[in-house]
Amino acid sequence: MSVTTEKKNFTQELIASFDLSKFKQDSEQRKKALAAFQSLGLPEGKSEEYKFTPITKLLAKQFKAEELYTSPTPAVSDVSALIPKAFQENCVVFVNGVYNPALSQLAAGSKVVIKPFQEAMATHASVISEKLNEIKDNNDPFALLNAAMWQDGLFIHVPKNTSGEKPLFIYHLHDANASKVTSHTRLMVVVEQSAEFSIVERTDSLGKNTIFNTINEEILVDENASFSYCKIQNDSGDLIHVSNTTVHQKKSSRADTYTFSLDGKLIRNNLNIIIDGEGCESHFYGLYLTDGDTLVDNHTVVDHKQPNSFSNELYKGLMDGKSKGVFNGKIFVRPHAQKTNAFQSNRNILLSDDATINTKPQLEIWADDVKCSHGCTTGQLDDEALFYLQSRGIPKATAKAMLLYAFAGEVLEAIKDENLKQYIDSIVSERLHKSF
Amino acid sequence: MLKIKNLHARVEEKAILNGINLEVKPGEVHAIMGPNGSGKSTLASVLAGREDFEVTQGEVEFLGKDLLDMNPEDRAREGIFLAFQYPVEIPGVSTVNFMKTALNKIREYRGQDTLDAVSFLTMMKEKIKLVEIDQSLLNRSLNEGFSGGEKKRNEIFQMAMLEPKLAILDETDSGLDIDALRIVANGVNKLRTKDNATIVVTHYQRLLDYIVPDYVHVLYKGKIVKSGTKELALELEEKGYDWIKDEMEVA
């Protein structure tokens, strides 16, 4: 029996064991997603999109099919030490994928609606269905799996002209001390016209058992609105994580996204930016610092559907140990999207002989009056620079940390919020053993 | 201060230094001259501890210690400074932060207290005057986008900050116009004391009009083939390196 057949069986087992009827809400969408997932299946070795990321193999090794959607009861009672002070006044905590109101604290007097997704499906039914109709379906198998099996989630509605709100910190904690954990979470953010908002999202884990977590994020940024989104993935545990983030931008809107992947077992981020309006600006940054046997895979898509917009992408990676990095950056410029400016850069440094990176830019441009560029580089630490620093009395380890920190610095510099910049700087500094 | 005895070095399989002997005492300035490929820059690199070169024979003693036994950072902390022929550009590291780190690592090594921000800035301002470098340059990424002259001036600024006992200037004059050359040379001269020493590695005599050497050595095929006073440099300028080459071939 071939490996491929085994994987197919794993998808089939999963679907056969999954009981859709126990979900009362969202049943039509779930049914649709499950059918689509069934025809697609979990990605196999031949799957172009998961060519370098053997996630199904890993899942099949670690989990029984029915464990891919069941979740044990969490026991965490205090997370205050885990959430940075600057963000404690406005934070939402999920433990093992379940919204935890006792650990969450929302800023008083805020105009922004923040509530569990199930609740919002009743209170904001029309907004949700109207906005979801604007978003095209995500055909990633894990996005479909999440859409069929999601357990909990969050709805965020930022009304027109809202500004000056505190950033929202979303903390996804998985407690895998007692057993394996699975969670599927969804998030929907609607930033209405001329509003501004920002979210910081961090995943974290306790314990050594394997965790499987998917997050679906649907983000709508309306006309003249501005949205900033920062993801921090720094799980010391055995986390297998897939996020599907779609940012839908309308006329003259701005979106800034930052993805920091520093630890975990296997991380796959699918980031889709859909520019569906003129005069949009979109910046997306990524930094992945991997070590051990961590695999971080960033797949990004920016789809320019309308003219006169600007997108800039910068992803940088440092790979050590036996870790693997994967970067795939697609830029689409539709025939109608003249005067588009789209730039992409992916730069990597391999710090060991066993570390690898697979990087692939993919540009598909149908319009003729555009400025687009892409570049990717992979190299090693610059020995000459190292010697230069050492020749001034700086020990080799410090010199190395200085060069790596400087490499990462370009991404850190792009963060505008000072609190956030300091927070991430402290995490990255610790990770790079910065001592200067 | 520095005693080089029968130093042999090679890069990969190619022998570059073939038995160098040289002694440098405190307060002295030595010029090392020679045609391209004679091993001048290799000698400078070997002294600073560049790993590309393998020392196959000989010894180097610096202030009574075995220099070849030390890694590059310890050589710097003991008081060796190499002004690079091609200073490296390092994006994301400002000269100020770089110097602060370097100075404090050196002070730590010597058992001195690290400098606080105020004392560091006071010191930096003094040295800036000495080498006539624009302070705004120092807040920028190290050497990134600097002109040739600015890079060399930055080397001398670093030298002023670290106060080495032995400075090795590797082709510091290359790529400099006459004004930049004068500023760089002035900086070096102002930093001279009776306790420190300088080795000037150069192809041309013109730098030696500004930094006047006590001794001039001519390097050819990895050996010092002629030593003399500053007049030797003038003679070389007049007769060219072929004169040395011819003399060697005859011998």
Q: Which residues of A touch B53 (CB under 8 A)?
A: none
Q: Are residues A251 and A364 in the same domain?
A: no
Q: Are residues A356 and A385 in the same domain?
A: no
Q: Are residues A172 and A302 in the same domain?
A: no
CA distance A419 to A423: 6
Q: Each residue of A202-243: pLDDT tens digit?
A: 999 999 999 999 999 999 999 999 999 999 999 988 999 999
Q: Is the pLDDT of residue A3 over 70?
A: no
Contact between A391 and B72 using a beta-carbon 8 Å cutoff = yes
Q: Are residues A411 and A310 in the same domain?
A: no
Q: Is the pLDDT of residue A7 over 70?
A: no
pLDDT of residue B237: 85
CA distance A270 to A297: 8
Q: Measure in Å the smallest separation between the Cα of A392 and chain B Cα atoms.
A: 6
Contact between B105 and A395 using a beta-carbon 8 Å cutoff = yes
**B6: nearest Cα among B65, B68, B64:** B68
- Would A408 be classed as within a structural domain? yes
Q: Is the pLDDT of residue B131 over 90?
A: no
**A418 in helix, strand or coil?**
helix
CA-nearest residue to B97 within chain A is A436
- Would B208 be classed as within a structural domain? yes
Domain that holds residue A257: 1-276
- Would B60 be classed as within a structural domain? no
Rounded to the nearest 5 degrees, what angle is found at the Cα of A57, between the Cα atoms of A51 and A62? 145
Q: Are residues A255 and A113 in the same domain?
A: yes
- Would B47 be classed as within a structural domain? no
CA-nearest residue to B91 within chain A is A406
pLDDT of residue B242: 85
- Would A152 be classed as within a structural domain? yes
CB pairs under 8 A between A and B: 74
- Would A80 be classed as within a structural domain? yes
Contact between B105 and A382 using a beta-carbon 8 Å cutoff = no
**A256: nearest Cα among A375, A421, A372, A86:** A421
Lowest mean pLDDT, pick from A142-146, A371-375, B130-134, B211-215: B130-134
pLDDT of residue B146: 93
CA distance A62 to A194: 46
Contact between B106 and A393 using a beta-carbon 8 Å cutoff = yes
ipTM of this model? 0.95
Count of structural domains, chain A: 3
pLDDT band per the 50, 70, 90 thresholds, residue A2: very low
CA distance B157 to B148: 14
CB A149, CB A182: distance < 8 Å: no
Better-predicted residue by pLDDT, A71 or A50: A50
- Would B8 be classed as within a structural domain? no
Domain boundary among A247, A276, A305: A276
- Would A284 be classed as within a structural domain? no
- Top mean pLDDT of A28-42, A95-109, A288-302 is at A288-302
Q: Are residues A86 and A195 in the same domain?
A: yes
Domain boundary among A243, A276, A309: A276
- Would A286 be classed as within a structural domain? no
* Identity of the residue in A395, A409, A410 whose CB atom sits nearest the CB atom of B73: A395
DSSP string, chain B: -EEEEEEEEEETTEEEEEEEEEEE-TT-EEEEE--TTSSHHHHHHHHHT-TT-EEEEEEEEETTEEGGGS-HHHHHHHTEEEE-SSPPPEEEEEHHHHHHHHHHHHHHHTTPPPPPHHHHHHHHHHHHHHHT--HHHHTSEETTT--HHHHHHHHHHHHHHH--SEEEEESTTTT--HHHHHHHHHHHHHH--SS-EEEEE-SSSTHHHHS--SEEEEEETTEEEEEE-HHHHHHHHHH-HHHHHHHHHH-
- Would B57 be classed as within a structural domain? no
pLDDT of residue A8: 55
Structure tokens at A213: 């977590």
pLDDT of residue A25: 79
B184: CATH: 3.40.50.300
pLDDT band per the 50, 70, 90 thresholds, residue A187: very high
Q: Each residue of A272-289: pLDDT tens digit?
A: 999 999 999 999 999 999
Domain that holds residue B233: 29-40+79-250
* Identity of the residue in B81, B105, B109 whose CB atom sits nearest the CB atom of A398: B105
Domain boundary among A339, A360, A380: A380
- By the CB < 8 Å criterion, does A409 face chain B? yes
- Would B206 be classed as within a structural domain? yes
pLDDT band per the 50, 70, 90 thresholds, residue B251: low
- Would A288 be classed as within a structural domain? no
Q: Are residues A169 and A187 in the same domain?
A: yes
Identify the residue among A318, A377, A390, A403 best suited for mutation to test binding to B, counting B beta carbons within 10 A and taking the highest. A390
CA-nearest residue to B158 within chain A is A392
Q: Is the pLDDT of residue B249 over 50?
A: yes
